[in-house]
Structure 1
Amino acid sequence: MAPIFSLFLVLITEFSLATAQQRNSNISLGSSLSPASSNSFWSSGSGQFAFGFYPNGDGFSIGIWYATIAPKTVIWTAKRDDPPFHRDSKLLLGNDGRLILQQGEDPEKTIAGGSQIGSSASMLDTGNFVLYNSRSEIIWQSFDAPTDTLLPGQKLRQFEEPNELFSSVSKDDHSTGKFRILMQEDGYLAQYPADSPNLVEYGYWDSGIKIAGNNVTLNLDDNGQLYLLNNSDNMKNLYDGGNVSDKLMYRMTLDADGIFKVYSYGLNRSDDDWKVEWSPNSVHKCDPKGVCGQNQYCILMNQEALDNVVWFNDPYSILSNTSRPDCEDECLKDYDCEVVLHKDDQCMKQRLPLKFGRQQNDPVITLVKVGGREFKKEKQSKVLIASVVVLIVAFTVLAISGVLIYKYRVKGYKKLLNSGNEELIEDVILRSFTYGELEQATNGFAEELGKGATGTVFKGLISNGKRVVAVKRLETVVAEGEREFRNEMKVIGRTHHKNLVKLLGYCNDRTNRLLVYEFISNGSLADVLFKSETKPRWEERVRIAVNVARGILYLHEECETQIIHRDIKPQNILLDERHCAKIADFGLSKLMNLNQTRTNTGVRGTRGYVAPEWHMNLPVTVKADVFSFGILFLEIICCRRSLDPDLAEAEVILVDWVFDCFDSHELDKLVQDEKVDKSKLERMVRLGIWCIQDDPSLRPSMKKVVLMLEGTVDIPTPPSPSSFLSSI
């Protein structure tokens, strides 16, 4: 009986411990954390993981870390790019199940949840923080919003979030760093600089193996095995994992240097620290593009030569059969030429900054124009970074030398451009479709997504049915030649910005002219502001406004050919799956060269959004878009249309009502019952009023608008806007 009784006691003890762990890890509504108190985090059942506040500089961040390991190893960070939170901050699991951050009089900030009503939360022993509904179903989890780390049981997905990790700035600074790793739609795992598109010339590593099928995922198991898996359970290993008997903890992290590694940890180790189990042996310290910044290149310490440097090749002009002296002369005569690269009698003119400098073996001469009429080279300064084996030779504008492999751009990552990668090619090259192809892609233009002034949009499938696109059939195109139309398409196709809808291709088949765009899943801003029962919160509305402003700034000042949109309105702002705003229909109205100051065409745009100069036969400049943005911005602030005849007479015209509320210090009327910081609301209203000034010269540039939105530029008290809008 004694052994049975002992076994019974063991079972009872284990059951009690399991019950206690479950109870301790369950977080009920109304629970809160504060860095100023002893209750600053919630532990998992075993105590292995913790969720809550951790020190960050002079303040605190919210994240998840290994609670049983010192020093602290953070594996997930909430709002990672926000400044550190105050000591008096409070993290609350609210009555609606949202995890809310409260900081004094600042507006509440949602950390997690919101899509469904929650009833409890838990920090799991897997390292996953979850929110549950009343049926104990997970409605949000940190595993679906990774930062730089993948844990056992967590997946990096191919077609849906999460599909990429972003490195941190450093080991102690967990804000978004320079690099990312992506589970691509073509079945490869690949790495890129954080702010670059998924194009082969930007990539610096891929898995070397791909796995066919849909729903491919990157997985890490409890034994440290790292592998790709498709929906047919076909698996390809990247790393076989460790010994099962070692009983180690594993994590995969994309480090700040741009190289991802599988780490292990065991409490019985003498060094008591994380050990690198595996990392790609094909990636070296200098391979991640952008590790050294602009106009800099990276070499390893055991390499003493300072030549043979390859740069990201992006010439705006290439001259063949040109000697080096002639190449120098050509650049000196060209106002736009700042750097010239000479190789094999090819003269490649470029603009600064140079990017992604790395040492390789194929001589090219790099010359930088200084003082207007002089070139210099081979003057370097050396910098040791991060006490690792990287020696950075930093160049100023006065001194750059090196080597460039011209054909690198087209040779890199051949595996990613094989015959089975149509979707990737579509992102690189603007494709010309026939009318028959698009008729088939849209199933005879069966599913209409929307209709506007320029045409009707239909849903379609290309790439053998694998990629969803939006096909716009233009209905009011100005008569022009085929060459001119193709040139305009190329200009639009060369625009690349995260806040612009990407043009993938076009059809110019006699009278049929159609455009093929990337498909944006969450509809238009107009639907969200004016039709949805649940309006976006203040912080999200401001973020959307910043997205739009940055997109317009790119069109005005940063793309190759300046573009005035001429029809900025909520219907032309689309929201992707992350509710990131993207501007549509840019470039369709009129493309403008840098030296043009007006157009000779009639009024273009939508009533209520067009600038007064359209009606007064005045020069139309980029300031017309600023006016339209101002109207849109006030609509975003107030969640209502600019003209609404169903409202009280004093509120029908949004511009007049906003200024009346501003003038009478009654801005709270604009946001009704929503709790918004008064000083922030006043700043935004001031900005909106400046944008809609009758005199274009009084309106700020979009660059200044962005700075004002970001809070880096003061916004003075604006004068009264014109009543011009009331008369149209």
Structure 2
Amino acid sequence: MAAANTTVLLLITLFTTTYSATIYTGSITPNFTTSQFQHIDSSGDFLRSPNHTYTAAIRNPQPSSPSYYLVIYHSDSHTIVWAANRNHPISVSGQIRLSFTGITIHDDTSQTVWSTPELNSTVDSLQLLDSGNLILVDRFNKTLWQSFDHPTDTIVSGQRFPVGRSLIGNKFPADHSAGDYSFTVTSGDGILQWKNLTYYSLLMDSKSVINSNVPITYITVNGSGFFMLGALESVVVNVLITQAGSGSGSDYRILKVSNDGYLVVMRYTNNDWVTDFSTPLDSCRPAFKCGKLGLCSTSSCSCPPGFRVDPVTKPGCSLSDNSYSLPESCDDKTHNSSESYYYVQLGTGVKYFPVDFIEPVRTGVSLSTCKDMCSKSCSCLGLFHGDESGSCHLIENHLGSLVLSSNNKTDDKIGFIKAIDSVSPSRNEESGSGSDFPVIGLILLPATGVLVIAIFAVWIRIRSRNKKMKDCSKKSSDSDDLDMFSIAGLPVRFDYEELVEATVNFSTPIGSGGFGTVYKGVLRDKTVVAVKKITALGAQGKKEFGAEIAIIGNIHHVNLVKLKGFCAHGRERFLVYEYMSRGSLDRTLFCPGPPMEWQERFEIAVGTARGLAYLHSGCEPKIIHCDVKPENILLSDNMQVKISDFGLSKFLSPEQSGLFTTMRGTRGYLAPEWLTNTAISDKTDVYSYGMVLLELIQGRKNCVQAPSHGSGNPSTSTDGHSSVSSGSQNRPRARAFYFPLQALEMHEEGRYLELVEPRLAGRVTNDEAAKLVKVALCCLHEDPSLRPTMVNVVAMLEGTLPVGEPRLESLNFLRFYGRRFTEPSTVVTGAEIEVPSGFMVAAIDSSSPSASPNSFSYMSSQQVSGPR
């Protein structure tokens, strides 16, 4: 027994020693065999390029995955740029073998799952070049095979991607197998496809600049840009992308097809990836964005009329009427089916992007003729018919996502989806003699029995109809304004009883706002949600409720709160949001407890800016939030940032430069233009964002008034500001502090660290503080045209644009705000009033939008905030 144990121990030691394999540099010679297990200490690495830019390895896409691939990855970023056996992964004990005939990959049963093709000469070595190209060469150093000829989803800087080749996106982010999206280069364009159906072309992007009509031979990305080149290296198309900045690695780029259908160019700089280009910009353009027959509208998914969410294929839709089903495609396009077909109309404004790229099978034909052609082809799954042109486009083989177009006048084609009658004659014939039982039974029954059955059936029908009418009447009386909810992309409508159950009869309030209280709830599927109960039941409350649904229900962004559904119960209204575990920013930033770290504050600043940038630039029409403040910025446990409360939002069409509206928002964050009768634009949100940014820097409210217990004598605060009491000697005195003014003064003196919350002393650099202070002050310019867009704010924070310098002449109004705010009282038409306990906003005289500070006059907090 002891001898056996010694033998096992010896074998384990030998095994471990053998598997501490060498990592080669440059090349490997034949008769080489390795596995992931042999290189487990080096995470599967076995070959590096001469300057270590790239590494060949046996890797799994994520630690928990049992699937391993032969890959090449960019060493610094660990980004995989090529995979050999992407559709045939191996286990941890699978092997890669290099012989004189090529490379083979074997599973744990020694079966070959991938290999290089038959070569014309004997292999002398396997080499990994500094370009990222894995090659097999003979003894004369002639290339026999190279990975660049067989790209997967990515091409790297300097790689030539020729006409006729395709990049195929991964099936999933952590699954290297080939997915359904691809990018192919033609002699005249680059096309994006889903299951071989074209849905977009590179030349459709406004950043693609055509320089000549020479046929394209290849495309490439490098430190200079993204190009489509022709003969003699001439630039046929120059795709305008973000230019690389200076710094190590800033010129390294890759081009790839994402698993969700986008073509992107990314640059590795400062140890992170920056997206220089992404297309298509239309988030609904990828052909399977919302699954089979899902309806995409401004990046949200729903189902078209006549369809419902498919519980099996989420996302995706199936027919609402269970008596019909969707047919499967076949290869025989001339097959005459005996099935009974029904065509479900999709309605006006519903488009299918692949139709834009296919020729009609016929023109000048009627709708019925077009349907007949589809019925005679079992590969046809639907059609689009042009009413004016008579064009007939057949949708064959695959059904992707539909799109709700915002412009119905540009296309008169109406879509129809083919459906099978589930009780068609052909199906009854297949079911055998049993299907004839009802008829035979009636024939065999006595006449009296038939009469009784008929009377019973009529009674049941009348009772059912009366019940439906009663339910409809009740539903109508409960909510007489539900017509507004018949919009595409609408979130789920919950039953009132579901929300009572989820919130345990609304027993756990987690916050409140101007229009109601928010409760924590848990749905039946264990999803934690936040349920907002609308308490304002007037016309304004209905308006706000509709605004929330119309806006949040039709947009989707990682930094915008997701509206899961709504409920209308009598006069009560409820909105169901995703739950953010840490609540709103003000609870974390202003409440007692450990201070937020600077990096957390910075990420919140960036996340909030991205969300607002999407509202302003990624939505059509653009959306102005109108109430940006810490209370409307929500946080999760991992500090994910989401903007909430869109009830005050305003739409802005591209033709409108601004919007005159009733003043709304929260004092302390209102831009001057709210008070001047000048146009409201997205720059109003920029101002509010600047105020929030200052509060992130200092960790407290911008405007502070604390009681002081003097008896008329000036008192000096710890901030160095004095306050003088007025009025009754017994009235509590107030000292005021206005941080935006201090930020302006410290900026002029370059003393940025003095603005950072003192508890972060030693953990923030002057440059880091200066960056946020300057961005904030730029956002606070009195002249809206001088404020940056939120897109530019994101760029400045992320470092892709230089930080702007605040314009002092457009910030002088802060000095007036600050002086007037810190005074104990002020006179309005001869009457002395107390300084309100909060930010008191000064209004510019409407007759002079550019008036000097002396033309400001105070307004009450109620006037400033509007009805809440």
TM-score (norm 1): 0.51
SS of 1:296's equivalent in the other structure is strand
1:289 pairs with one of 155, 161, 181: 181
For residues 601 and 168 of structure 1, the distance between their equivalents in structure 2, rounded to whole angstroms, comes to 61
Q: 1:627: how far off?
A: 0.5
Work out the number of aligned pairs and report it: 465
Give structure 1 stretches of 5+ with no counterpart: 21-44, 76-147, 155-164, 179-252, 320-329, 348-359, 368-400, 413-426
1:540 pairs with one of 587, 600, 616: 600
Aligned in 2, Cα 1:50/1:284: closer, same or farther, shift over 3 Å?
closer
Q: 1:653: how far off?
A: 1.8
Kindly provide the amino acid, as one letter, of the partner of residue 452 in structure 1.
Answer: G
Aligned in 2, Cα 1:509/1:629: closer, same or farther, shift over 3 Å?
same
Structure 1 segment 257-268 matched on structure 2, within 5 A: 261-265=89-93
SS of 2:692's equivalent in the other structure is helix
Q: 1:174: how far off?
A: 7.9
CA deviations over 1:497-543 (Å, ceiling 9, x no partner): 01101011112334212111111222222233223633333333222
For residues 471 and 704 of structure 1, the distance between their equivalents in structure 2, rounded to whole angstroms, comes to 34
SS of 2:506's equivalent in the other structure is coil
Structure 1 segment 290-305 matched on structure 2, within 5 A: 296-297=191-192
Structure 1 segment 155-554 matched on structure 2, within 5 A: 171-172=73-74, 261-265=89-93, 275=106, 287-289=179-181, 296-297=191-192, 311-312=287-288, 407-409=399-401, 430-462=491-523, 464-476=524-536, 479=539, 486=546, 489-531=549-591, 533-554=593-614
Query: Are the counterparts in 2 of residues 169 and 176 from structure 1 also a CA contact under 8 Å?
Result: no
Q: 1:257: how far off?
A: 10
Kindly provide the amino acid, as one letter, of the partner of residue 668 in structure 2.
Answer: G
Q: 1:310: how far off?
A: 9.9
For residues 475 and 281 of structure 1, the distance between their equivalents in structure 2, rounded to whole angstroms, comes to 46
For residues 296 and 493 of structure 1, the distance between their equivalents in structure 2, rounded to whole angstroms, comes to 31
Kindly provide the amino acid, as one letter, of the partner of residue 802 in structure 2.
Answer: D
Q: 1:607: how far off?
A: 1.9
Aligned in 2, Cα 1:288/1:676: closer, same or farther, shift over 3 Å?
farther
For residues 310 and 607 of structure 1, the distance between their equivalents in structure 2, rounded to whole angstroms, comes to 42
Q: 1:596: how far off?
A: 4.6
Kindly provide the amino acid, as one letter, of the partner of residue 773 in structure 2.
Answer: V
Query: Are the counterparts in 1 of residues 534 and 574 from structure 2 also a CA contact under 8 Å?
Result: yes
Q: Answer yes or no: is 1:711 the counterpart of 2:799.
A: yes
Kindly provide the amino acid, as one letter, of the partner of residue 149 in structure 1.
Answer: Q
Q: Answer yes or no: is 1:656 the counterpart of 2:741.
A: yes
1:668 pairs with one of 726, 739, 753: 753
Quote the residue 2:23 is aligned against: none
For residues 582 and 500 of structure 1, the distance between their equivalents in structure 2, rounded to whole angstroms, comes to 5
Kindly provide the amino acid, as one letter, of the partner of residue 663 in structure 1.
Answer: E
Query: Are the counterparts in 2 of residues 149 and 254 from structure 1 also a CA contact under 8 Å?
Result: no
2:669 pairs with one of 609, 613, 616: 609
Larger radius of gyration: 2
Q: 1:650: how far off?
A: 4.7
Q: 1:342: how far off?
A: 7.6
Query: Are the counterparts in 1 of residues 45 and 57 from structure 2 also a CA contact under 8 Å?
Result: no
For residues 529 and 632 of structure 2, the distance between their equivalents in structure 1, rounded to whole angstroms, comes to 16
SS of 1:676's equivalent in the other structure is coil
For residues 738 and 296 of structure 2, the distance between their equivalents in structure 1, rounded to whole angstroms, comes to 50
Query: Are the counterparts in 1 of residues 551 and 646 from structure 2 also a CA contact under 8 Å?
Result: no
CA deviations over 1:620-662 (Å, ceiling 9, x no partner): 2111100011111122233332223457345832211222222
Kindly provide the amino acid, as one letter, of the partner of residue 780 in structure 2.
Answer: I
Query: Are the counterparts in 2 of residues 258 and 288 from structure 1 also a CA contact under 8 Å?
Result: no
What CA RMSD, in Å, does the superposition of the two structures yield over aligned residues? 5.9
For residues 521 and 50 of structure 2, the distance between their equivalents in structure 1, rounded to whole angstroms, comes to 51
Kindly provide the amino acid, as one letter, of the partner of residue 554 in structure 1.
Answer: Y
Q: 1:480: how far off?
A: 5.7
Kindly provide the amino acid, as one letter, of the partner of residue 448 in structure 1.
Answer: P
Query: Are the counterparts in 1 of residues 622 and 652 from structure 2 also a CA contact under 8 Å?
Result: yes
For residues 700 and 184 of structure 2, the distance between their equivalents in structure 1, rounded to whole angstroms, comes to 47
Q: 1:705: how far off?
A: 1.0
For residues 72 and 285 of structure 1, the distance between their equivalents in structure 2, rounded to whole angstroms, comes to 17
Quote the residue 2:617 is aligned against: 557
Aligned in 2, Cα 1:489/1:694: closer, same or farther, shift over 3 Å?
same
For residues 679 and 257 of structure 1, the distance between their equivalents in structure 2, rounded to whole angstroms, comes to 47
For residues 746 and 45 of structure 2, the distance between their equivalents in structure 1, rounded to whole angstroms, comes to 40
For residues 709 and 684 of structure 1, the distance between their equivalents in structure 2, rounded to whole angstroms, comes to 8
Q: 1:667: how far off?
A: 1.1
Q: Answer yes or no: is 1:49 the counterpart of 2:41.
A: yes
For residues 634 and 656 of structure 1, the distance between their equivalents in structure 2, rounded to whole angstroms, comes to 11
TM-score (norm 2): 0.44
Kindly provide the amino acid, as one letter, of the partner of residue 776 in structure 2.
Answer: G
For residues 585 and 289 of structure 1, the distance between their equivalents in structure 2, rounded to whole angstroms, comes to 36
Query: Are the counterparts in 1 of residues 632 and 643 from structure 2 also a CA contact under 8 Å?
Result: yes
- Which is further off, 259-268 or 277-286? 277-286
Q: 1:609: how far off?
A: 1.2
For residues 581 and 82 of structure 2, the distance between their equivalents in structure 1, rounded to whole angstroms, comes to 29
Quote the residue 2:248 is aligned against: none
SS of 1:660's equivalent in the other structure is helix
Give structure 2 stretches of 5+ with no counterpart: 18-36, 115-169, 202-284, 290-294, 299-303, 306-347, 365-377, 386-392, 403-415, 418-487, 707-716, 722-736, 822-839, 841-868
SS of 2:179's equivalent in the other structure is coil
For residues 492 and 431 of structure 1, the distance between their equivalents in structure 2, rounded to whole angstroms, comes to 12
CA deviations over 1:539-577 (Å, ceiling 9, x no partner): 332222111111001111212332211111112111224
Query: Are the counterparts in 1 of residues 589 and 595 from structure 2 also a CA contact under 8 Å?
Result: yes
Q: 1:588: how far off?
A: 3.9
Kindly provide the amino acid, as one letter, of the partner of residue 705 in structure 1.
Answer: V
1:586 pairs with one of 646, 649, 658: 646
Aligned in 2, Cα 1:454/1:482: closer, same or farther, shift over 3 Å?
closer
Kindly provide the amino acid, as one letter, of the partner of residue 503 in structure 2.
Answer: T
For residues 177 and 394 of structure 2, the distance between their equivalents in structure 1, rounded to whole angstroms, comes to 18
Structure 1 segment 48-67 matched on structure 2, within 5 A: 48-50=40-42
Quote the residue 1:150 is aligned against: 63
Aligned in 2, Cα 1:583/1:260: closer, same or farther, shift over 3 Å?
farther
For residues 532 and 624 of structure 2, the distance between their equivalents in structure 1, rounded to whole angstroms, comes to 20
For residues 574 and 168 of structure 1, the distance between their equivalents in structure 2, rounded to whole angstroms, comes to 42
Q: 1:363: how far off?
A: 9.4
For residues 275 and 595 of structure 1, the distance between their equivalents in structure 2, rounded to whole angstroms, comes to 62
Aligned in 2, Cα 1:286/1:9: closer, same or farther, shift over 3 Å?
closer
Kindly provide the amino acid, as one letter, of the partner of residue 62 in structure 2.
Answer: T
Q: Percent identity?
A: 29
Kindly provide the amino acid, as one letter, of the partner of residue 767 in structure 2.
Answer: S
Q: 1:685: how far off?
A: 1.6
SS of 2:792's equivalent in the other structure is helix
CA deviations over 1:406-440 (Å, ceiling 9, x no partner): 8433899xxxxxxxxxxxxxx97512234343223
Q: Answer yes or no: is 1:690 the counterpart of 2:751.
A: no
Aligned in 2, Cα 1:473/1:299: closer, same or farther, shift over 3 Å?
closer
For residues 13 and 774 of structure 2, the distance between their equivalents in structure 1, rounded to whole angstroms, comes to 61
For residues 618 and 48 of structure 1, the distance between their equivalents in structure 2, rounded to whole angstroms, comes to 66
Query: Are the counterparts in 1 of residues 634 and 641 from structure 2 also a CA contact under 8 Å?
Result: yes
SS of 1:451's equivalent in the other structure is strand
For residues 694 and 49 of structure 2, the distance between their equivalents in structure 1, rounded to whole angstroms, comes to 37
